[in-house]
Structure formats: C-alpha cells, structure tokens
A and B are shown apart, each in its own frame.
Chain A
Amino acid sequence: MRDVKTVTSNVSAVEMMRVEMLTGNVAAAWAARLADVDYIPAYPITPQTEIIETLAKWIGEGVMKAKLVQLESEHSMLTAAGTASLTGARVFTATSSQGLFYGFEMLYNISGWRAPLVLVNVSRGVAAPVTLEPDHNDVLAARDSGFLQFHAETCQDVLDLVLLAYRVSEDRRVRLPSIVNMDGFYLSFTREPVHLPSQETVEEFLPPYIPTLPFRASRPVVKGASVLGGHIYTYFKHNIHESMRRAIEVFEEASKHYAELTGRVHEPVEGFKLEDAEYVLVMSNSFTTMGKRAVLRLRERGVPAGLVKIVMYRPFPSAQLAELLKNRKAVAVLDQNISLGMGGIMYQEVAGALYHQRNRPEKLMSVIGGLGGKYISLEEFEYVFNVLQHPEGRDPSTPLFLFRKDELEGVRKALGLAGLGGG
C-alpha cells in the first residue's frame, strides 16, 4: 500500500489516495465495501467467486458491515437481491455466464420492480463448448432487460463504475438496476494499481438510498402486479424506457461530480486519439487496452488511426457515438460476441445509431474477435486497420472473423487428436 497525492480538478481539494494492487474482482469488492452495501446474496461461479470470497472475508473480520447469504442458485440469488432492494437495502451481487442465464427471468422482474441494485457480471463465454474465458454473449443477452450496463476496461474502471452505477441507479429520475461488466481473467484475475477513494469521498458522492414505498412488515405493498390487456403493460414499459434514456444525462452529471472528487473522468463513450483520425475502431471492455496500443503504433507510422470505447452500453449513447464518428473515412466495430446467424451485436447498434447522422462514415465494417477469450494480438488489430484503409473487394457487412494461422494449425491438431480428421 502506498499513498500518493492526487490533485483533483477542485484546486482546493487534495486528497491522499490509497493505491493498491488489486484484481478486477477485488476492485469490485472494494466498491461494494465503499458503497457500504447492506445485503449481498451470493452464489459461486468462476471467474466471479473471488468477489464474494473477498466480501465474506471482510465481513468475517468485522471490517465491513453487511449481510452475505449464499443462496441455492442464481435464480434465488437474484430474487433475493431484487426483493431486498425494495425494502430499502443497498444490494450488491455478482455472477457470470451460465449463472446469469440461470437467473435470467429475474432480471426483467428486478427492473420492472424498479429495484436499483448493482450486479457485477464477470464475462465468460457461454457453453457449449465449455470455457472459463471471456466474451460478451453473456452480458449482452441481458441488454434488453432494463438493467443499465457499464463495461470496464481496467480494474480501476470496475471500482469507479460500480460506484457510479449506484449513484445513477438510485437516482429518482432513473431507479433502475445496473450491471457492471468486467472480463474474466483479463480483469477479474489481473492485478494492477487501483486508486481507492476514501470512505468520506464515497459518502459525499453517494447519498443514502431512499426507497419509494418500501416493503415493511407493518405496511403491505404489492410490487410488480399483474396487468392484463396490454395497455398498462405498454405504459409501464414505455416509462422504464424513458427512465433509461434519461440515465445518460444523469450518468454525465454523476460522472462530473466523481471527477471533481477523484480526478478520474468517465464518459458514456470515450474517444482515444480521435482529433484527426480517419480510421476508427469501436470496441469495449478489457481488450480496448490492446486496441489503444495498436492505435499508438499505427500513429508512429503515420496512419491516422483512432479508437472509440463504449463504456455505457445501456442506455445506448447513440447521439454521443454518432458525434464522435461523424466525418470519419472508415470505422470498424469489433464485437467480442456473436449473434449466431446475424453477426456482431454491437455492429448492428452502431449502424443504427449512425443511420440518421448526416456526415456518417463512408464505410462501416464488422469485425468479430476474442470469442471465448481468444487473444486479439497486435497483429490482428493492425490487420483490421489495414483492411479499413484498403477495403477493396470486401463486403463490409460480412463480419471479418479475426484468426491467426498458428491458431488454425492448433485447431487442426486438436481435431486430429479428437479423431475428427482435421489433422
């Protein structure tokens, strides 16, 4: 542990901040601790388990005051999370991949109940084939559920975004749950220096959660009533959608306050080396770090490359994204997911966001990479920028499936070993 002076944008406020080597998982646990959560329903799954282990340890040692309960499944876990949140408790929980899917129907309930809890999803590819390593088919399956979604690039982002998520979720103008996503392994098990804000800073940033018409033993309330006929259902869904859309400006407002307190700025979409960029890569999550490195290397060679990182995935910041991408020569959207039979999920959404943009980019290419945690090497990033500059003869809507020759040889060898004649 070491102390560093961080000068915030508030010239007067100089906070002594702790910097520690933390995994993404422990950073998430720290965020829950600093947010002073009351209740943590839990169920173990790789690569998320370390979050719950860390919180359980702290509670056991008495350094954190919260109730942690291990339920019998993720379905029960999410049910407990949502209902507890409606009593007025600040609720934190975490899962991953198959676990998220096992509790899936409760996601829609939780948002419909307007329960502003925070769920950390540690991305892991969905079986079959079975893997432990990350892609975003798990978290993106929850994209339409009424949860706000924030995607982290670094372990620092994990901590910051969980705190921001509580603030936005609990805001009376939003009152919807959040998912904060981090990649398994690349963040969950990777330690890097993380600035820990002080308890006082977090208390200043995050006011207490005051529930609307909470459950009380003495005062029964019906939550999530049944509504037949469709008109009431439509009315409420529209209201949730409206609150979702409002969450963009509430996030920007909260982010501004957070930056004043900590010096760290988070935006719904973030540009990197965009000033004069003609060729831009749009992506999200931890591989963005490597994408930025590729951009820097291309810049050294005189290629006007840039990058856009999507941080807030729901609500989708269409206007902000379109603004960053206007007048670019060619844009590639790198999806670490696949809608089977369609292609990259994010590509479709970026295309939709750009449709009404007057000066939209000439070319919009779809790229799929990193499925099941497949490493995206610098060479592959540079290949993408190369195709962006020389797209001749390529149908940009057909996804480019990133793969390397040595990986193809590895696949053939494995098929041969399995007796499938590939070798």
Chain B
Amino acid sequence: MANSQINSFILYLKIRAKAYIYKTRHPSFGCGVWSPMLKIRFHGRGGQGVKTSSRILGRAAFLDGFVAQDSPIYGAERRGAPVISFTRISKTPITERGFIFDPDIVIVMDETLLNDWLARPLDGVKKGGAVFVNAQPGFPPPEGHDDKFFITYDLTGRALEILGKPIISSPSAAAAAKITGLITKSSVLEATADELAELDLKDELLEKNIQLAAEVYDAIPSPVINTEESGSITREISPLDYEPVTYEEVIHLDIANLGNSALRRTGNWRIFKPVVDPEKCTGCMVCIIYCPDSCITLNENNKAVIDYDNCKGCMICLRECPLRAISSVREVRVYA
C-alpha cells in the first residue's frame, strides 16, 4: 500500500485517547538508556493474531533500519490456547534465538492470561521495562511489578468496533512499537499493510487494521524503557547425571490420572460467553449433544447449565439451540 493511501486513512481517523498510564515509582521515566537489544514478548491466545503481532513489529523495526528477529511458539492446541511470540530489535546482529526469558516489554493480549499458571506472562520482565495489558479501562496494575511501566488499552473492544472481529494483531504491534520509543508510525503502518497483505486480507479489512493501528500508536504513551542487560546467572543447573535421579523402575510415558482435562481450565479462552435464558430453555438437550467440550448439563429444573470453568466460548450451542434460548455476552471479567 502506498504511503499516501495510508496517510489518507490517518486523516479521517477519530483518535479517541483511551490509554491509561499508572504512576510508577521508577525515577528515570523519560530519561533512560536503551540496552543494546530490546526484547519484546507477546502473550495471547490462538486466533488473536499473536504471531502476526510479532511479525508486524519485527518488520517495522527492520523498515526503520534495525536488525530484527521474530518468532512464535505454539503447541498442538487449538484456537484459544495460549500462544507466545517474540521480537528482538537491535542495532547490531542478534546473538540469541528462541524463548525470551528476560523481556524489556511484555504485551499481554488477553488479560485472563495474567492468572494462567502455564503462560505466566509477567515472568522475567526486566526492572524498568514495560507491561502492556489489553484490558478495559480501570484494569488494576498487577501486584509486585511497581518497578515497570504499566499501560492498558482496550484493544479487543476497539477491534470489535472497527474490524467487527476480536483480532488484535495490528493494534498490539502498534502498542509495542510505540512503547519501544524506537519505531516510527509510518513503519508500523507499512509493516501492518505488508504483513496483512501476505495473509491475503481483503482491502477493506486491511484499511481498518491500519486505522486501528494508527489510533493505538497515537494513543499509547511512549515511556523510555530503562532496563539493563541481565548479566547474572540466576537459574541453577542440575545435570541429570549429577542430580540423584535414580530410576529403580522404568518410567512409562503414561497418563494414569484419567479425566484430567478438567484440570485445564479452558474457560479463560472465551471472548464471548453463551448465556442460557431459563425462561426459553425447554431442556431439549440439543446444545448438550453439540457442545464439543461436554460443558453443558441439565439441572434439576431441566434447564441447560453451562460449566463456565471449561466452556471455551465457541458458540456452537448458540447456533444449534432450536429455541434461540442462548445469547452471546462479551466476557469482561478476569476468570480466576
């Protein structure tokens, strides 16, 4: 997309400042130094555009003349499962790859991940770094991270309004780019256009993404990241042959505890939640048959009840209910 086109989008943008910075005890706000490499870690869920965010940021940095590296990590799980991606930005060749353990900036694209014991998005964020959370206004700063900048913005809300979909790759990348204090707006928008065009996005949706990215870039503050290269050895080495790991018997690759998928609380995966209207529900059990995760049962009054601990919000029940007794409500609270 040509620059002039991008600019014309920006012209008619209605910028609505929705950014919130919480006061920080860190004294060097606005006057810090930049360590040789800036490391950004994105935490989100499959389908939100986590990988694409890291790519837009990587390309934007590259367009601005930096050496960049971006990569995702994901497993075999589906849409909604936690996904992590990384961008490294440097003026010199990058001598690292893989997982970023000590990010300067963390972008949490789904606030429910803050309480996820597997994702642990705030692990290792450097002192003087920044934590961005995609959340509704008034979201409280996480405890124990007073020594970092904390920024929130309701990316999902704005994405639903502008794009009509809860996909937030371009605004997440724009937020990260602005927080780095290094990446220009024009590069972010150009990178957004490039990366989304590679995904064969239709022009209209692409334009809306650029509009959203521009809005977020302008609204997010640009704190000066003031972190130091973590030089100390922190993790203890315990070679398997030194540690007294003695196997008296063979360890089979078995899972003896059956029914353990209930332990994985997938209720956090929801962006919308299905709500049953007991007045309309006749207990016909169609939703129970269709629910792919066996999350619906009938209560003593013969009404459908949804297990919100595990319901992923796929909304198949809503589509299948013959009586239209199920509605969709935007999920807003953090599920603990």
Contacts and interface: CB of A to CB of B under 8 A. Distances in A.
Contacts of A297: 231
B97 interface: yes
Contacts of A406: 235-236
Contacts, number: 109
Given A128-B253, A191-B55, A400-B241, A296 B234 contact: no
Contact of B237 (A286, A379, A418, A419): A379
Size bracket of the B interface:
35 or more
A128 B252 CA distance: 11
A215 interface: no
B97 A402 contact: no
Contact of A380 (B62, B96, B237, B251): B237
B94 A420 contact: no
Contacts of B59: 21
A282 B151 CA distance: 45
Contact of B71 (A185, A290, A377, A403): A185
A102 interface: no
B238 interface: yes
A401 B70 contact: no
Nearest to A387: B239
Given A2-B63, A21-B59, A191-B69, A185 B98 contact: yes
Contact of B62 (A21, A186, A408): A21
Contact of A193 (B67, B73, B233, B238): B67
A189 B72 contact: yes
Contacts of A419: 255-257
B290 interface: no
Given A404-B235, A404-B236, A417-B263, A286 B97 contact: yes
Contacts of B73: 185
A236 interface: no
B99 interface: yes
Interface in B54-107: 55, 58-59, 62-63, 67-73, 75-76, 94-99, 101
Interface string A160-203: 00000000000000000000000001110111110000000000
A382 interface: yes
A402 B71 contact: no
A293 interface: yes
A190 B62 contact: no
A186 B98 contact: yes
A19 B262 CA distance: 48
A348 interface: no
Interface in B29-72: 55, 58-59, 62-63, 67-72
Q: Is the interface of A mostly helix, strand, loop or mixed?
A: mixed
Interface in A348-403: 375, 377-380, 382-383, 398-403
A9 B240 CA distance: 48
A250 interface: no
Given A185-B73, A405-B236, A420-B251, A293 B241 contact: no
A193 B237 contact: no
A379 B232 CA distance: 9
Interface in B201-235: 231, 233-235
B254 interface: yes
A309 interface: no
A174 to B, nearest CB: 32
Contacts of A128: 253
Of B76, B231, B237, B238, the most chain A CB neighbours within 10 A belong to B237
Size bracket of the A interface:
35 or more
A129 interface: yes
Interface in B162-200: none
Of B76, B238, B252, B260, the most chain A CB neighbours within 10 A belong to B238
A297 B230 CA distance: 12
A403 B243 contact: yes
A402 B238 CA distance: 7
B139 to A, nearest CB: 30
Given A292-B95, A418-B256, A419-B255, A191 B235 contact: no
B263 A289 contact: no
Contact of A186 (B63, B97, B235, B237): B97
B256 A420 contact: yes
Given A186-B97, A190-B97, A379-B234, A21 B70 contact: yes
A132 B72 CA distance: 13
Nearest to B66: A193
A290 B55 contact: no
A408 B238 contact: yes
Interface string A277-295: 0000000001001101100
A379 B334 CA distance: 36
A398 B241 contact: yes
A289 B95 contact: yes
- The 10 nearest A-B residue pairs measured at CB: A419-B256, A419-B257, A401-B240, A190-B71, A405-B236, A293-B95, A405-B238, A383-B237, A418-B255, A192-B69
Given A2-B62, A289-B95, 20 more contacts: A21-B58, A21-B59, A185-B73, A190-B71, A191-B68, A192-B94, A193-B62, A375-B99, A380-B237, A382-B233, A398-B241, A399-B241, A401-B239, A403-B240, A404-B235, A417-B260, A418-B256, A419-B255, A419-B257, A420-B254
27 contacts: A21-B58, A129-B253, A185-B98, A189-B72, A190-B69, A190-B70, A191-B58, A192-B68, A290-B96, A293-B95, A375-B99, A378-B233, A379-B234, A379-B237, A400-B241, A402-B239, A403-B238, A407-B238, A408-B238, A415-B251, A417-B257, A417-B260, A417-B263, A418-B255, A418-B257, A420-B254, A420-B256
